[in-house]
Homo-oligomer: A and B are copies of this chain.
């Protein structure tokens, strides 16, 4: 993946990932992996553009006007968040396209995953990846802090259509119960790639195999464990348990 990060490191406490709204005193010290503000914003904007693109594909592929309409509401919310992220980048006098480009290129594998698939799979991709990465990026933004970091953390903490997406998926699954096994497999397939995207958001943690890298992995591991737990809760919520 992309290694944009890790040039000037700022030490900040970054809280352990937790269910939204819950409070947790446990801290994971992966502060030194907190990315720099601008590349972070570029990646967050790129990720939201990617979700918007998958929603766009789902909107085009959906068979009925009801479903198209519902997807359109989710898309409007994701676009609104993405446009606010781009506005933050512009506010810092940086070029959003330039900052997003390396991440969009890195997301090419994600796009390959999504292409040519069923619209329900596309919606599940949006729901699960936006969920995992949204949680993760929110915590990173809080770790970066400052006016922009805190504003972006609040922005990423908003629902942005996730609940509508969940309801839409639930209705689709109820209408066609044979989807369950296909979507369950799809969801499992997504986890690894989504974790790679999350991993790439962190500041460089040494060359693979180095002592620094091992220490970093050990440090970061609990965060990923929580990401996976939240992912499993989302899958369970849809009756897509492995």
**Interface, chain A (partner B; CB < 8 A):** 46, 49, 52-53, 55-57, 59-60, 65-66, 68-69, 72-73, 75-76, 79-80, 82-83, 86, 96-97, 100-101, 104
Contacts and interface: CB of A to CB of B under 8 A. Distances in A.
9 contacts: A49-B69, A49-B72, A55-B56, A56-B60, A66-B97, A72-B83, A73-B83, A76-B79, A76-B80
B65 A59 contact: no
Contact of A65 (B60, B68, B72, B101): B101
B82 A72 contact: yes
Contacts of A73: 83
Given A59-B52, A59-B56, A75 B65 contact: no
Contacts of A49: 65, 68-69, 72
A59 to B, nearest CB: 5
